[in-house]
Structure 1
Amino acid sequence: MPRWYERDQAVGGRVVRDGAADPDAWLAAAYSDTTLVTRVGALHADHAEPGNVVTSGMSTSSSTEPGLVVGMYRHAVLTDGCRTLVTTGTGYGTALACHRLGYDLVTSVDVDPYLVEAATDRLASIGHHPETAVCDLTQGPLPGEYDRIVSTVSVPTIPAAWLKALRPGGRLVTTITGTGLILYADKTADGGGSGRTSFEPASFMGARHRDDYEETVPAAVWDEAESGDGKESVSRHFLVFVPEAWSIRSMLQLSSTAISGTRTAATPSGWHILTAHGSVPTPPHPGSPPPSTKAAHAAYGTPWRTSSTASAGWANSPCMAPASPSRPTARPPSPAGTGRPLCSH
């Protein structure tokens, strides 16, 4: 990972950092337990000029926080002989899987041809030669059959292609898009799956199907929310910032059509948070809700209402257990409840 993006509040955006130009910073970043963004919109840091500032766009690829990658593999219960499919990104997670299992048991896939090519070359430079492929993980078909599937991109529901590629008794691990829920589930004899969500929260970028995510909220909507006449309310109660409240965010995502559109804006009187969350009865344009009722009327011509949170649905995934989350354990249960991992050879 020779280059990455680093947020710099002083310049109001993300700055492209070049490792070769500052080896000490490169080493510190590489060994930090944090996620390093490597792609914003369609521009990969490798293809950007060092020092260039990017002020807009969503993160579309990264090198995941090392501790989180290890946590995902721990939920997968990787053991000797398990043929495993992982997602590529920078190739860091793939390298860990190769080190643990041997590269001949690892397959790494990504929807982005450049990421696959770059990771393949970098892995080869340290002696790892896993099978790599460009494919849309959510659509399939996947390149083979596996004992483990570990996805560090989130999905709204478990793709049928995963269950088809997973061997009997195998395990999949991923996160549910828009939530802080890590899901791990084992394939059952009927071709379905059964599992649970982890006590520990985590969130990954959503799966994408092209160079960048589709625009769900037009820029004009955000501009209207920031510059238009808004309604200001004052309360003695604490304001919950939903995107950072893992439990509430996850509950709303599972029980509502859509959750939040959030943007902060600087004004002479300080920072204002423009946000809305809820559901549209019949949204003409699916996606993130506008940040104000007025903007919603302007963009979609339909009012927003507060969602009921009396009960949270757990039916977004055929592999999600309906039972209440259990207390954390020192080690995730073995696949299929056997007491030891099942691997087909």
Structure 2
Amino acid sequence: MKDWEAAAQRLAAGTVIRPESRWYQPVATTPRHLFVPRWWTRATNGDGEEVWQLRDGASDTEAWMRDTYADTTLVTRVGTLHADHAEAGQTPARGRTGRSTSSSTLPALILTMYRAAWITDTSRLLLTCGSGYGTALACARLDEKQVTSVDVDPYLVHAARKRLAEAGHHPRLEVCDLTGDLPEGTYDRIISTVAVPAVPASWLKALAPGGRLVTTIADTGLVIVADKTSDGGALGHVAPEAAGFMAARHGDDYDDTFPENPPLWQTAQHAEGESITTSRYPLMYVPDTWDVRSTLELIVPGIDHRQHTADDGTRTVYMLRADGSWARATAAGRRDSPTVHQGGPRRLWDELDRIRTWLVVDGDLPIRGAKVTIAPDGTATFSRKGWSSTLT
């Protein structure tokens, strides 16, 4: 594609703070379009439904240039259908089964993770692969022999290997589940641009003494930065920048704890609650936050959040959990206190309101900047201001 170099230089100027930064040249000289020849975007069909739409770079070079050299995430796989394999006009499954399962992460966020890792000229890296673009940036910054990149998807590894070679890079690429056994070797930095439910013990074994891991925790906005300690664990903190990545997969698609219409979902929509109250706070959709969402996930993990807006503007937020707990909160206006119905063993909305009260009283939540202590088995304890929570 013509003129990609100028587009890459503009991308570098917009994502790297100073031209003299060691990351400026990697961004300015890496052909991102090479790693994303096709991608998925959101569109609205004739029935007003939101659907995935295939974009093909070769048949629309203007969009290819514009989108791949913008500081944005490009979805490359939805469900089990990679954009590379889709036919013209083909759309992935709709609903909850049509979730994005791989992407090319926005460059600024990749650089945020790399900067947090404090990569040096001699660092041996273990990275997550995806489209291969982030791996290409690392190869442009270091000797490619120092870079190992992994993905659970054999096709993604195959495609990335080919595209990296076209860009002049030949790092070590392996197919593996990031949360399990890692490629043999010792690494100074492990940087994950997929979210993990907890820090895998295999990472701590693979890290060199004093090595650093940088990752996000699934279903939260938490970025953890931690250095390996002499006992085989790690010590670090929650980074000030929030980030969200797709969760690590263990196969072709995600295991769906909550299918589109489970019995609990029917209950949450229509049942009278065992508890019916009026919340003291306006309606909140938890996934739109990062600190409240992250705190709630640590305290009551595994909540499925859904929302609906009726034709008259009335909004309803739902919370469901695999233990049978559910909550439904409805309000006519954005500032109105919602009526809340709750059932099951835990009062999910009450847990949320306790966190919101905490935020109002203290002005922030202790998860911000919390200390993170990771045991050799991966158990992570977050602590700040007398508060603590453990993730296993």
Q: TM-score range by the shorter chain?
A: 0.7 to 0.9
Q: Which residue of 2 aligns with 1:276?
A: 319
Is the Cα–Cα contact under 8 Å of residues 38 and 83 in structure 2 kept in the other structure? Answer: yes
Q: What is the CA RMSD across the aligned residues, in angstroms? A: 2.9
User: Which of 322, 347, 350 is the aligned partner of 1:305?
Assistant: 347
SS in 2 for 1:161: helix
The alpha carbon displacement at 1:69 in A equals 0.1
Q: Secondary structure at the match of 1:115?
A: helix
Cα separation, partners in 2 of 1:271 and 1:33, compared to 1, 3 Å: farther
Q: Tell me the CA shift for residue 98 of structure 1.
A: 0.4
Equivalent AA in structure 2 for residue 276 of structure 1: M
Residue 67 of structure 1: aligned partner: 108
Question: CA 1:164–1:227 in 2, change beyond 3 Å: closer, same or farther?
Answer: closer
Query: Following the alignment from structure 1 to structure 2, what is the Cα–Cα distance between the partners of residues 274 and 316?
Result: 34
Residue 264 of structure 1 is matched in structure 2 by 308
Letter in 1 for 2:83: A
Query: 1:324 corresponds to which letter in structure 2?
Result: R
1:58–1:225 CA distance, 2 compared to 1 (3 A):
farther
How many angstroms does 1:217 deviate by? 0.8
Structure 1 pair 233–63 and aligned structure 2 pair: CA distance change class (3 A): farther
- Residue 90 of structure 1: CA displacement? 0.2
Residues of 1 paired with 2:301 and 2:265: CA distance? Answer: 24
Instruction: Indicate whether 1:179 and 2:220 are aligned.
Output: yes
Q: Identity over aligned residues, as a percent?
A: 47
State which of 49, 56, 60 in structure 1 corresponds to 2:87: 49
Partner Cα separation in structure 1 for residue 347 and residue 269 of structure 2? 22
Report Cα offsets for 1:259-283 as digits up to 9, x if no partner. 3321436x43347444216x67xx2
Uncovered stretches (5+) of structure 1, i.e. residues with no partner: 294-300, 326-345
What code does the residue aligned with 1:239 have?
Answer: L
The alpha-carbon deviation at position 202 of structure 1 amounts to 0.3
Contact 1:196 1:321 (8 Å CA) reproduced = no
What's 1:36 paired with? 74
Count of equivalent residues? 310
Kept in 1, the 8 Å contact 2:190–2:212? The answer is yes
- Residue of structure 1 equivalent to 2:61: 23
TM-score by length of 1: 0.81
How far is the alpha carbon of 1:170 from its aligned partner?
0.7
> Which protein has the bigger strand share?
2
The 5 Å alignment of 1:217-256 reads 217-221=258-262, 224=266, 228=270, 237-256=281-300
Q: Which runs of 5+ in 2 are unaligned?
A: 1-35, 330-342, 359-364, 386-392
Query: In 1, are the aligned partners of 2:327 and 2:347 still within 8 Å (CA)?
Result: no
Distance 1:42 1:28, change over 3 A: same
Q: Is the 8 A contact 1:133 1:143 kept in 2?
A: no
- The alignment's TM-score, normalised by the length of structure 2, stands at 0.72
Higher relative contact order structure (alpha carbons within 8 Å, sequence separation ≥ 6) = 1
Q: Is the 8 A contact 1:142 1:162 kept in 2?
A: no
Closer, same or farther in 2 for the Cα pair 1:240/1:220, shift >3 Å? closer
Among candidates 132, 135, 150, match of residue 109 of structure 1: 150
Whole-angstrom distance in 2 between the partners of 1:125 and 1:167: 31
Provide the secondary structure at the position in 2 that maps to 1:153.
strand
- Measured in 2, the distance between the counterparts of 1:227 and 1:52 equals 32
